[in-house]
Amino acid sequence: MTPASDVRPTLDAVWRIEGGRIVATLAAACGDLALAEDLAQEAFVEALRSWPDGGMPDNPGAWLTTVGKRRLIDTWRRRERLDERHRAMAAELEEHAEDRWEPIDDDVLRLVFTACHPVLSKEAQIALTLRVVAGLSTEEIARLFVVPVATVQQRIVRAKKTLGAAAVPFETPEPSEWRARLSAVLGVVYLVYTEGYSATTGDRWMRVELADEALRLGRMVAGLLPREPEAHALVALMELQSSRFPARTAADGSPILLDDQDRTRWDRAQIERGRAALRRADALGRGRGAYGLQAAIAECHAMAPSADETDWERIVLLYEALGRLAPNPVVDLNRAVAVSRATGPASALLIVDRLAGDGALRGSHLLPSVRGELLAQLGRTEEARSELATAATLAQNARTRAVLEAKLAAL
Amino acid sequence: MKYMLIMRATPAAVEAYKDIPFDEVITRMGRYNEEMIKAGVLLAGEGLAEDVDTTGFVVDFASEPPAVTDGPYGEIHELFNGFWIIQVSSKEEAAEWAKRCPLGPGSKLEVRRVTDESDFADFADNEYIQKESEWRAAEATAAAAAAKGDEAP
């Protein structure tokens, strides 16, 4: 006999491991992700109720799936939709013990594609994916994103309703849609990651947790899509970025920038995992996409003994390629920073001035802070001062502002 | 958080394993590893060779310089014969994965949390002079922008 208080953490852990497969199995049975999620919830509640007295089943995943399927049959009965197929399933449930459990990877893949469907808003995709694919509780998602639990619940309810309204089938995409749909899936994983990597709210460990969650999700997706180079490249990018976490923050929580990081504190094992993932992507022989190029940039940093000994010219080249694949002023700005390291501030300033002339990144502190930095290096102190002051005014994040003000004071 | 699952077995358990066809042992372990890879939790894992008598030795720091000996293998009752490192979200999840390991009576898994930077937070180096380049912030924003497609951030 297990007390209820002990069941909850264990059940949560089982859900982390099996939740996605349970929902995927149920969704494959009924063709409806929203219904499957409801059924899975009911099974979860049932376990909370019965495990404390009856003890934990030998195969908790199978037990939960069976309960979910029984509830599904009840639902069909209520809707008077019991045809031959459903009777067969009911008979099968009667016959087999609750330890038969053979989840199918393809069902999990369908689940991933459905949860990241383009009819959903980014927020809805993220909430639903973490909930049904990663098996996180609503409370955990709320904690990681520093939003009220009710907000997360609302997003999930809305997401389920939207899928229903759009009659989204529980299927992997057609070949003609494949690329766009894959990019949506990878985009969701990476958005979760960047939220963890550069969050402006919450304490640092929470952010690391979120980044770890994205990595786990990314590894899972790469496992489901072993033939997709960008899935492996995304894992590579996240591993390489995360390898710097131990060196990114000072004891007082202030950020330590790349140049000043103690590289001995980078996680070498993680760097190796990242490089291995990039090699897997490359081995597929289809070239590098946006994630592959960013991973290659991260790899350049990871392999450099110091900031000055970094292969900046290669980084410039990689940013040029990335800018052509996915034109974006922030990529241009990063290229400018790399150019300043490779060939000096004057040529970098040309790029930044062109961006400023185009009105790019207006209202963001990024452009004036880089421009101020370059002007300072060129000895144009007065102009640098004014740019950095502008940047400090625009900075959203208090830590960033403090760094800019310190730089201003040092001029 | 990361956990290390440390495989320990009594010599009796190691002997008992020899009754199972090695092919089957590999298959069972392989299936277990694959489960963890698919779930995205396996970071590393290695098995240690059983021929400790010929290839294993002990470096003992009781003396200066340390002495290399053949080791007290004759007298230990448990052999450390492999490990996994997994990244999970809770102690309970580590326990769930550990319970799934295809081991039999006589074997144990010792499950230990691997330290991370938070364990050393009090000792973090704090002599850095804050030298500002917006590199990191820009890099992160670029990443977010790339994830969103090509709309400007």
Which pLDDT does position A98 carry in this prediction? 59
Q: Which residues of chain A have pLDDT under 70?
A: 1-5, 81-82, 94-101, 199-206
Whether A86 and A32 have beta carbons less than 8 Å apart is answered as no
CATH topology of domain A328-411: 1.25.40
The overall average pLDDT reported for chain B is 78
DSSP A308: T
Which pLDDT does position B76 carry in this prediction? 63
Which pLDDT does position A38 carry in this prediction? 95
Q: How many CA within 13 A on the CB side of residue B27? A: 5
B30 CB burial (10 A radius; 0-12, 13-18, 19+)? exposed
Which pLDDT does position A195 carry in this prediction? 85
pLDDT at B44 over 90: yes
Which pLDDT does position B35 carry in this prediction? 94
- H-only helix segments in B1-151: 11-17, 22-38, 52-55, 91-99, 135-148
Record: contact B134-A373, CB cut-off 8 A: yes
Q: How many contacts does A have with B, using Cβ atoms within 8 A?
A: 180
Tokens 């459903």, located at residue:
A86
If you measure CA to CA, which chain A residue comes closest to B90?
Answer: A13
Which of B93, B142, B153 lies nearest to residue A334, judging by beta carbons? B142
Calculate the alpha carbon distances from B102 to A223, A386, B29, B40, B108 in Å: 22, 66, 7, 19, 11
Min Cα distance B76 → chain A (Å) is 31
Record: contact B146-A331, CB cut-off 8 A: yes
pLDDT at B139 over 50: no
Query: Domains plus CATH for chain B?
Result: 2-114 (3.30.70.1060), 117-153 (no CATH)
Which pLDDT does position B132 carry in this prediction? 34
Record: contact B88-A16, CB cut-off 8 A: yes
Which pLDDT does position A247 carry in this prediction? 87
C-alpha torsion A307→A310→A313→A319, nearest 10: -70
B63 CB burial (10 A radius; 0-12, 13-18, 19+)? exposed
Higher pLDDT, A82 or B143: A82
Which pLDDT does position B125 carry in this prediction? 45
Out of A90-94, A269-273, B75-79, B102-106, the most confident range is: A269-273
Residue from A193, A245, A257 whose CB has the most chain B CBs within 10 Å, to mutate: A257
pLDDT at B86 over 50: yes
Q: Mean pLDDT, to the nearest integer, of B87-112? A: 94
Which of A183, A193, A330 lies nearest to residue B153, judging by beta carbons? A330
Which pLDDT does position B152 carry in this prediction? 30
pLDDT tens profile A78-119: 877 667 777 777 777 766 655 566 778 899 999 999 999 999
Whether A222 and A277 have beta carbons less than 8 Å apart is answered as yes
- Beta-carbon count within 10 A of B68 CB: 10
The token duo for A21 is: 């497969």
Q: Mean pLDDT, to the nearest integer, of B2-12? A: 91
Which pLDDT does position B151 carry in this prediction? 33
pLDDT tens profile A117-138: 999 999 999 999 999 999 999 9
User: Which chain A residues touch B145 with a CB distance below 8 Å?
Assistant: 328, 330-331
Record: contact B96-A10, CB cut-off 8 A: yes
Distance CA B39, CA B51 (A): 33
Which pLDDT does position B149 carry in this prediction? 43
Whether A67 and A46 have beta carbons less than 8 Å apart is answered as yes
Percent of chain A at pLDDT above 90? 74
Which pLDDT does position B124 carry in this prediction? 47
The band of B133, judged by pLDDT with boundaries at 50, 70 and 90, is very low
Q: Mean pLDDT, to the nearest integer, of B40-50? A: 92
Min Cα distance A103 → chain B (Å) is 11
